[in-house]
Structure 1
C-alpha cells in the first residue's frame, strides 16, 4: 500500500509531457497549409508554446496562428479558444479602420489623408469651437497626433475613451474636444520625430471610422464587408456601434483567428490576397511607414505599430495590429511572416509583454 502511494506521488511529480508539433489542418477557407518541419522551422520550439501555456507561463492565451509565405504552418487553440471563436481584438480594430480609409480613398470617396476633418461633418456644431480645428486632417487621426486634448493613457484627459463611452453622442464628444496645451515636460510637434506629437486617442479612431461612413454613405460594417472582408473570404465577423449608431472604428471588432491571419497576410503581400488586389500597394506602404514616434521603443504608421524584435541576433522591424488583452497580428512583409496571438487577458499588465514574448521567444526563435 505504501509502495502504491509512493508510486502515485512520484507520478504526480513527473513533468508534463512535452508539446508535440502537428501540421495545421486543411480547411475550406482559402488557406494553404504546410508542415513547418519540411520548411526548416524548429518545430520543437513551436511545440514548446503548449508547455508554457500548460504550466501557466502564458495566461489566458486563446490562439496562436503562424503563416509562412502564405501557408499556415502552426495553429493551436487554448483556454476555450477554437477556430470559430470570434475574438474581441479591441484596439487592433483600429488597423482595420486604417485599411477602410485606404479603400475609401482608392474608390475616390475621400480625396486623400490631407482632407480637412471637420468638412465631413458640416451638420454638427460641437463644443469648444476653435479656428485651429479647421486645419485638422484625416492623417492627424491616423497618426494619433491631432491637437485634441485626448489621451487614453491619462485618466484626467478630457478625451480619455472612458469619458466618451458614457456619453450619448460619441461623435459630438470627439469633435468637441478642446485644443490641448503642452506642459513643460511634453514634447511639442515641432520638436518631435516626424513633426508629430503622439497621444493615443481612441476617440480619434472612432471619428476616422465615422469619416468613412460619411464618405461611403453606408454603415462601416457594410463597407468593410464589401471592400475588405468578402474579398478575403471572411464571412463571420461582428462590428460594434456607438449609441447614435455609428460604426466603432476604434475597437471591439471580432474576427476568427484564421481571418485575422488573412488580414495580416494581405498586408504582408502589399494589399494582395491570392489573385485579388484588395488594397492598393501604395496605401499599404503608407500604412506601414513611420509617421510618428509612439514611444522610445515604438513608431507608429497609420493605426499600425512598429516594434523591433531580434531575429537571429539582428533587431528587425515588426509591424503590428495591437489590442487590449494582448491581441496581436504581427506582420513582417520582408519575410512574408504573419503571427496571430489572441488573448483574453484584458486590462492585465502582463498581457502585452506576454504576447510579444510569444512572438520573440517562440515564433521568431523557431524560424528557419
Structure 2
C-alpha cells in the first residue's frame, strides 16, 4: 500500500486510536526490507502505511511498535524530496567506522538513558550518504523534536526577515513594540527593555516561580494570544539591566513566536507552513498549539529525519536553499554563533547550540539543535558534514558527547 503523504499539520489528537494501533501492529508483523545491523541494505526503508495527519503526535509515536530488525543503508534512495543521495565511502566517510557505530546503536540496553535510538542519518558535502532506522524510527513518520523546535522557531523568524517583515536591526528592538495587544503600564520594571536578541539567547531576564506559572495556567483564557506574554512580563520578578544571565526556559521562545505572529501577514502558523517549511519541500510534519493558540515554540514539533537534514544543510549553505537566499546569511551566522555562555563548554546562539569537540589535538566547531530524549542535528562547518539522530531515551543520553567525536573521526581519518 502506498502511504498517503501528510500535507497538513494538525494539533488535534484523533479519538480513533484503535485503527491506528491495529495498522501499526500489522506493519510490525509484516516483512521489512531491512537487514541485520552488521550488513548494509539497499532495500526500501521502513514506513508507516496509510499515514494521515491525525496519526502524528507525541502520544501516537509511543504506540509505534519496534522494528523487527534495523534498516541500514550506505546508499540512500532518491525520494525526490529535495535531498540529493550519495554513497558512504565513495562519496566520503569511513564506511567501517560508521557501520560500527550503527551496530553499537542497534544493540539493546537496559539503561533508559541510552539504547533507544530511532534513526541515524549523515549528509556529507550536500549528499545524504547514510540512512538508518531502529526501533520506532520510520522514514515517513515525523519524529518528535522536543527543544529543536526552538531552533526551527528562530529560523522561521529569520525567514520573516528575508521576506522583509522584520529587519536585522529589529533584533535589538524591545519586543513590546511589536506586541501591540499588551499593556506595558502593568508590566514589571525592565520588561520594556527585552529585545528579540536577548529572548533568542535565553537572556530575557524573565523569572517566574513554578507556583506562579501553575497559577497562571489555571486560567488559560487569559493566556490566549499575546495574553501569554502579558502574563510573563506582568508577573515576573523585575527585569535587571543587560547583560543578563542565561536561563533555559519556555518564556523566551514564546516571545519569539509571538513577535513572528505579530509581524507576518495572517498568522505565525500559516507563515511557518507556507512561507517557511513548504518552500523547503517539508509538508509531512506536525506542530502542536501552545496554550496561547500559537505554535508551541519550546518543544512542540515533529519532523522526518530526512527533513531534519535539510535544516543542517541550510546552516552549512549560509541560509541558501536551492541556490537562493532563503534566510539572511548574517542571521544564520548569528543564530549559530556562541553568543551566550550556557554552561561548561556549551554556548548558545539564537536557540542553537555551539561546542568545540576535540579529536587528535584539534578542536572542531559543532553547531547543533538539541532535544530531550536524544534528538540532534549536528553540523560541522569545517567538514561540510551534517548528522541527524532521533531517539526516545531519558534525558540526552550519551549521544551528545559520543556522536560528534565519532563523526569527526569517521570523516578525518
- The question of a shared fold, defined as TM-score above 0.5 by the shorter chain, is answered with yes
Q: Which residue pairs with 1:70 in the alignment?
A: 126
**1:136-147 equivalent positions in 2, closer than 5 A:** 136-147=194-205
User: Normalized against structure 2, the TM-score is what?
Assistant: 0.74
Task: Give the drift of 1:17.
Answer: 7.0
Pairing 1:364–2:364 present:
no
Q: Which of 303, 318, 325 in structure 2 is aligned with 1:255?
A: 303
Q: Which residue pairs with 1:109 in the alignment?
A: 165
Q: Distance in 2 between matches of 1:136 and 1:113?
A: 10
Q: Which residue pairs with 1:289 in the alignment?
A: 337
**1:55-66 equivalent positions in 2, closer than 5 A:** 55-56=107-108, 58-66=114-122
Pairing 1:39–2:39 present:
no
Task: Give the drift of 1:171.
Answer: 3.4
Q: Which residue pairs with 1:86 in the alignment?
A: 142
The verdict on how the C-alpha distance between 1:159 and 1:305 changes in structure 2, with shifts beyond 3 A counting, is farther
Contact 1:149 1:159 in 2 (8 A): no
Contact 1:174 1:204 in 2 (8 A): no
Q: Which has the higher contact order (CA 8 A, sep 6+)?
A: 1
Q: Which residue pairs with 2:358 in the alignment?
A: 310
Q: Which residue pairs with 1:174 in the alignment?
A: 232
Contact 2:257 2:268 in 1 (8 A): yes
Task: Give the drift of 1:164.
Answer: 6.9
The verdict on how the C-alpha distance between 1:290 and 1:222 changes in structure 2, with shifts beyond 3 A counting, is same
Q: Which of 190, 213, 218 in structure 2 is aligned with 1:132?
A: 190
Alignment RMSD (CA, Å)? 2.5
Contact 1:210 1:247 in 2 (8 A): no
Q: Distance in 2 between matches of 1:81 and 1:101?
A: 29
Q: Distance in 1 between matches of 2:341 and 2:153?
A: 20
Task: Give the drift of 1:166.
Answer: 5.9
Pairing 1:354–2:399 present:
yes
Secondary structure (helix, strand or coil) at the match of 1:320 reads strand
Q: Which residue pairs with 1:4 in the alignment?
A: none
What is the count of residue pairs matched by the alignment? 333
Q: Distance in 1 between matches of 2:389 and 2:106?
A: 16
Secondary structure (helix, strand or coil) at the match of 1:63 reads strand
Q: Which residue pairs with 2:79 in the alignment?
A: 27
The verdict on how the C-alpha distance between 1:127 and 1:274 changes in structure 2, with shifts beyond 3 A counting, is same
The verdict on how the C-alpha distance between 1:159 and 1:319 changes in structure 2, with shifts beyond 3 A counting, is farther
Secondary structure (helix, strand or coil) at the match of 1:341 reads strand
Q: Which residue pairs with 2:52 in the alignment?
A: none
Contact 1:61 1:343 in 2 (8 A): yes
Contact 2:74 2:129 in 1 (8 A): no
Secondary structure (helix, strand or coil) at the match of 2:365 reads strand
Q: Distance in 1 between matches of 2:97 and 2:278?
A: 35
User: Normalized against structure 1, the TM-score is what?
Assistant: 0.82
Q: Which residue pairs with 1:276 in the alignment?
A: 324
Q: Distance in 2 between matches of 1:198 and 1:98?
A: 17
Secondary structure (helix, strand or coil) at the match of 1:32 reads coil
Q: Which of 231, 238, 248 in structure 1 is aligned with 2:286?
A: 238
Task: Give the drift of 1:159.
Answer: 7.5
The verdict on how the C-alpha distance between 1:29 and 1:180 changes in structure 2, with shifts beyond 3 A counting, is same
Q: Which residue pairs with 1:223 in the alignment?
A: 271
Q: Distance in 1 between matches of 2:342 and 2:85?
A: 36
The verdict on how the C-alpha distance between 1:86 and 1:104 changes in structure 2, with shifts beyond 3 A counting, is same
Task: Give the drift of 1:84.
Answer: 0.6
Q: Which residue pairs with 2:106 in the alignment?
A: 54
The verdict on how the C-alpha distance between 1:36 and 1:91 changes in structure 2, with shifts beyond 3 A counting, is same
